[in-house]
Amino acid sequence: MYKTLASVLKEAEELDYTVGAFNAHNLEMVPSMIEAARDSGSPIIIQTSVSTARYVGMSNFVAVCKSMSDKEAVDVVLHLDHARDLTDIKDAIDAGYSSVMFDGSLLPFKENIAKTKRVIEYAHGHGVSVEAEIGTIGGTEEGFTVKEGQYTDPKDAIEFVKECDVDALAVGIGTHHGQFQSKTKLNFPLLEEIHADIDKPLVVHGGTGVNEDDYHRLTENGIRKFNVGTELLVAWTRTAQEYFGKTEVNNSLRNNIMPCNKAVHDIIAHKIDLFMNKKSPISAVTE
């Protein structure tokens, strides 16, 4: 079924697992992403940046996710990631996205609260979930760079959720967007403190740079949404380079794109196995 973020995270909390949120970098990879979740018996969060959503068309993403969630008997959330412009958020909600993230983490604290409240009012009024962020995630994503991430202040997080009835809260615990050639050292004492104080599902961004050995500890400390984007992009692009580099010019495009989508499918299936607390084969992380 086509679900909201709040509904799938509620089940994850009750059953004690983490839901994978995977960035779609084009429309072609979406069916393979959803099929990976179906095969694993897990819900999936398909998320898009604003620029990708504009490129493909928000209504096109909605149509594919809705139709496949019904046909394949899998719970699918379509989430707009790191939106900073309220117009983008409104357009996504009006197009049929079931979840949005307002990223006001770079704003003054009170302005972040005020704008997040406006997003919640509109989104919840249309049955759409809202994720927000306190603290910042370093690195580069979709051309937007934050040179240095900032850890989440637990006191700010407490005040924020008192003021804003968000459905999920992204926290800064040391991760970085775009990191795939090395692994980050997470600040688990900080996460444990935030989890003890905040009764909301917590979110990790920059998940490609997280060591897979840390996944279970993240789940134990309230992480219910785990974002993976760069790893999928790298795998798709490397596979595309291999196949397009040796193809005949009159070879059907699908013969080159299908292996790219298969690479994405396999990474997602592997990640879901870990998020659902199952034993999993050797890591499929691209180095």
As a whole number of angstroms, the distance between CA 120 and CA 117 comes to 5
* E strand spans, 54-159: 76-83, 99-102, 129-134, 138-141, 144-146
Burial 35-53, CB ≥16 within 10 A → b, else e: bbbbebebbbbbbbbbebb
- Which candidate, 212, 32, 86, places its Cα nearest to that of 101? 86
Distance, C-alpha 135 to centroid of its chain: 17
Q: What is the DSSP letter of 16?
A: T
- Tell me the one-letter amino acid at 273: D
Size of the chain, expressed as the number of residues it contains: 287
As a whole number of angstroms, the distance between CA 46 and CA 56 comes to 14
Active site annotation includes 213: no
- Tell me the one-letter amino acid at 2: Y
Helix (H, G, I), strand (E, B) or coil at 210: coil
Task: Out of 16, 39, 75, 81, pick the active-site residue.
Answer: 81
Is residue 156 within 8 Å of 134, Cβ to Cβ?
Answer: yes
Catalytic residues: 81
